[in-house]
Amino acid sequence: MSVLKRYIAAVQQHLPTALKADVADELTSILEDKFEAEQERLGRDLNAQEVHDWLATLPAPIEMAAGYQEHQSFIGQALLPYYRHVLKVSILATLGVWAVFLALGIFTRNHVIGAVFDALPGLFSSVCITFTAVTIVFVALEHGTLKHNWFGRWSPCALPPLKSRFSWIHVSRSDAIASIIAYTVVVMLLNGWTGGSEALMIAGGTIGFSTELSGYVTGLSWVIVGYIAVQSVILALPFWTRTKLALLAAVQSAELLLWWQVMNVSPWIEVNGNVGEKWQTFVDYLNGQTNWFALIAMAIVAVSFVISLYRMYRLRTDDVSE
C-alpha cells in the first residue's frame, strides 16, 4: 500500500542510517498486520478516507522514530528529532552566512589569508552561540512550562511522496538553505547599491544603480522575497507539491514581467565622482550590454517557468498522493 510505504519512509527520515533498514522491516510487518486486522474487523476493504483516518491514529512519523532511539536526559524522545534538525539547519545557516561575509571580506581586502584569519573567530563564536541558544530553547521546552503533547495533531496528507516515483520531487534542505542565504544577500546588495552614500565606494567616487533602474529595485526585491518564501516552505517540507509549484510559477511570472520592463531601462549603472579609468570603462561596457543581460535572464526564468508548469502537469496526471 503506497500510503503505508510513505509513512514508513517518513519515519526513516528521522532515524540514523544504521537503524533505517531494521526499523523499516519491523514497521512494515507490524503495520501490515494491523491494517489487515482492521479490514477483517470490518469485513471489507477500507476506502481512501478510512485508510487516511486509520493512519492518523498512528503516532506522527517523527514521534514513531523517536521511540526507536535512545532517550536523552536533557531533551526527551519527543523533541530530540526536532532538536537535531533545528540544530543542523541553524549551524548550516551560520556557516553559509559566514562564507558570504568571508567572500565579501576577500573581495574588499584582496588578501585571502588575512580575511580568513579575521573571520575565523567570528565563525567559532557564531557556532557556539547557535549551539547554545538552540540547546537552551529545547531544554526549556522539555522541562519548562511550555512542555506539552507536541504530536497531538498530524495529518497523513503531509507525508512526502515516495522517492521512487519522481526523483525531482524531493529537494535537499541544504539547497533550500543555500538559496535562502543567497537570495537574502542579493536583496541586501540590491538595496545597498541604490545610489548615494549607500552605493559601492571606489576610490574617490561611487558606483550604484542608476536613478532609472532604482525604481525597479523594490519590485525585484519583492520577487526575491517570494523566492525566499518558497524556499522556506521547502525547508520545512522538502518536496514539491502542486501548491508550491503554483506559488513558484507565480513568482517566476512576476519576474518575467519585471525583466521585460527593465530591458527598456538605460543605463543600469551610474558613476558619481572619479572612480578611475578602469572602473569607468567597466561600467560603460556593462551599460552597453544591458539588453543582452535582460534577455539571458528572461530566457532562464522562462525555462524555469515552463519546467514548473510541466511538473504541475505531471503531478496532476500522475497522482503521487495516493
Taking CA atoms, 256 is separated from 39, 46, 48, 228, 249, in Å, by 53, 47, 41, 17, 10
What is the secondary structure of 26-90 as a DSSP string? Answer: HHHHHHHHHHHHHHHHHTS---HHHHHHHHHTSPPHHHHHHTTSPPPSSS-TTTHHHHHHHHHHH
Taking CA atoms, 239 is separated from 45, 180, 242, 244, in Å, by 30, 16, 10, 9
Pairwise CA distance, residues 256 & 76, whole Å: 48
pLDDT band at 116 (very low <50, low <70, confident <90, very high): low
Q: Which residues contact 75 (CB under 8 A, 6 or more apart)?
A: 83, 135, 138, 139, 142
pLDDT band at 253 (very low <50, low <70, confident <90, very high): very high
Q: State the chain's mean pLDDT as an integer.
A: 75
Helices (H) and strands (E) counted in the chain, each on its own, are 11, 3
Closest to 258 (Cα-Cα) out of 308, 228, 211, 302 = 302
Element (H, E) at 197: none
pLDDT at 144 over 60: no
Report pLDDT digits (tens) over 35-64: 888 888 888 888 878 888 888 888 777 777
113-117 mean pLDDT = 64
- 3-state SS, residue 291: helix
Nine cell digits for residue 283: 561600467
Torsion sign across C-alpha atoms 210, 213, 219, 220: negative
166-175 mean pLDDT = 66
Look up the pTM and report it: 0.54
Report pLDDT digits (tens) over 60-85: 777 777 777 665 556 766 667 677 77
Nine cell digits for residue 182: 543567497
